[in-house]
Amino acid sequence: MHILVVGGCGYVGAVLVPALLERGHDVSVFDIMWFGDRLPPHPRLRVQAGDIRATDSVPMAGVDAVVHLANIANDPCSDLDPRLSWEVNVLATMGLAEAAIRHGVKQFIYASSGSVYGVKEELDVTEDLPLVPITDYNKTKMISERVLLSYQEGLALQIVRPATICGYSPRMRLDLSVNMLTMQALTKKRITVHGGGQIRPNIHIKDMVGVYLFFLEQGRRLRGIYNAGFENLSIMEIARRVARHVPAEIAVSEGNDPRSYRQNSDKLIGAGFAPRYDVEAGIRDVVAAYEAGLITDTDDCYNLRVMRKLG
């Protein structure tokens, strides 16, 4: 297959693209490169820099499947420029779907977000519950889903709602809860927990990549919306697990993020996907990468810091 990964130089893309190449696929990557390009050269890999708002520049010709990972990610980055977030996350996504249909693309996989659920009291947050987004970022993801669903007659569409991802990537992110708390323990011997009682679903980056590979293998047989999160843990429990691997003091401060929910991914598991990794593996990955000198606590590992520098 010829697979286009939009946003393929990012945190997940930097792990997904090599996995696709290992499986013999031809891969095109389209990315704005705000966070660099850490993909190793490969004869079946083509990397193109560009802005997805310029839809005509996205290389759709001859593509069998699109994996759309590009977005203005997380609440703080969206708050920097809400208009940019709506343009990139919603309008550009619509343009990509239309371009995919024009070029006869057979399959479109979209990375939404589990944060679209907002604050939920239900013990199991399933795909059929109403969405109550509470930030601009959450809202752009919800609207993007609805836009894409309007094109599902012309595409084999899979919408994935990932939990918070953890683990090592060549394009490392240290602004994600497990990774961030682990790096605090490694560099400061002190973990700062804001609130702590909030429940968050988690997924290891290797399982996240596995989900996309699974849907690509399924092709047109599976369609619709799927949660992807396999461990629902409080922020405090994550901190405690980190401290078991890296001895550190845990300090608690008042939290300002009310999001709390337990993601249920039985639909994805029932479709045949089997997770293989957990939060403990993510913590071990970050520790091992840090000790090997593969990651350092620098600004380029934080989306918000990079975007502020870019202005």
What is the pLDDT confidence band of residue 311, given thresholds at 50, 70 and 90? confident
Beta bridge partners of 158: 109, 224
Please tell me the pTM assigned to this model. Answer: 0.96
Q: What is the pLDDT of residues 158-174, one digit of tens each?
A: 999 999 999 999 999 99
Give residue 258's pLDDT band: very low, low, confident or very high (50, 70, 90): low
pLDDT (0 to 100) of residue 272 = 97
> And the tokens for 183?
């790096």
262 versus 283: the higher-pLDDT residue is: 283
Give the C-alpha distances (Å, rounded to integers) separating 138 from 72, 77, 135, 294. Answer: 11, 12, 5, 32
Mean of pLDDT values over 95-114? 97
Question: Could you tell me which residue, 278 or 120, shows the higher pLDDT?
Answer: 278
299 vs 261, residue with greater confidence = 299
30-86 pLDDT per residue, tens: 999 999 999 999 999 999 999 999 999 999 999 999 999 999 998 899 999 999 999
Sign for the CA dihedral angle at 243, 246, 252, 253 comes to negative
Query: Residue 179: helix, strand or coil by DSSP?
Result: helix
Domain locations along the chain: 2-310
The catalytic position among 11, 110, 117, 137 is 137
Cα 229 to chain centroid distance, Å, stands at: 11
Pick from 3, 12, 6: nearest CA to 173 = 12
Range 229-240 average pLDDT: 95
CATH of 2-310, one of 3.40.50.720, 3.40.50.970, 3.40.50.170, 3.40.50.620: 3.40.50.720
Please tell me whether residue 190 adopts helix, strand or coil conformation: strand
Dig out the tokens for 52 from the structure: 């997805």
More confident residue, 196 or 72: 72
Instruction: Answer yes or no: 137 catalytic.
Output: yes
What average pLDDT does the chain have? Answer: 95
